[in-house]
Amino acid sequence: MKVAIASDHGGVNIREEIKSLMEEMGIQYEDFGCECNTSVDYPDYALPVAEKVANGEFDRGILICGTGIGMSIAANKVKGIRCALVHDLFSAKATRQHNDSNMLAMGERVIGPGLAREIAQTWLTTEYEGGRHANRVGKITEYESK
Ligand code: RB5
């Protein structure tokens, strides 16, 4: 699995935490910034990463900002992206099993690095269940192709 990761200035610490998790897990990743000590605009990071996941260059994407909200809104504008904003372990598991989410967004002003690490680990290791969920996810894909 190849993962693209990025954050704005509000998510740098969790980004570093998740990179070290992926190193421990032996997951290949690429860091797309930010290289920031000053304030940046989250769409400038969310959209390129989402496009790289949508075009198959990367299998999954992880985005972190202050709330995770701006990153997830921006990423979900890209066709083919199912970006889940997650701040608890139940949702981390469920969004993989039910939604086949291909991107994860988290907010560093909402949760700490310990929980973020567990959420990312769960999200990276949980399989999509397909079955009855495939019809539902398929309806989203169908709408996108209109
Ligand atoms: C930046 O101040 C903040 O707005 C951003 O990190 C994020 O929370 C946006 O949704």
pLDDT surpassing 90 at residue 36: no
* Mean pLDDT score, 57-82: 98
pLDDT surpassing 90 at residue 37: no
* Mean pLDDT score, 58-64: 98
CA-nearest of 106, 97, 64, 58 to 81 is 58
| Active site annotation includes 98 | yes
- For residue 68, CA distances in Å to 63, 82, 110, 133, 134 come to 7, 14, 9, 25, 26
Is the link from the previous residue into 34 a cis peptide, with omega within 30 of 0?
Answer: yes
Count, residues in the chain: 146
Residue whose CA lies nearest to ligand 1 atom number 3: 66
Dihedral in degrees, nearest 10, Cα atoms 71, 51, 123, 69: 10
- For residue 119, CA distances in Å to 11, 53, 66, 99, 123 come to 15, 20, 16, 16, 6
120-139 per-position pLDDT tens digit: 999 999 999 999 999 999 99
| Active site annotation includes 36 | no
Q: Is the pTM of this model over 0.95?
A: yes
Pairing label, strands 103-107, 2-7: unpaired
The residue assigned the tokens 């797309």 is: 32
| Rounded distance from Cα 130 to ligand 1 centre (Å) | 33
Which ligand 1 atom is the nearest neighbour of the CA of 8?
6
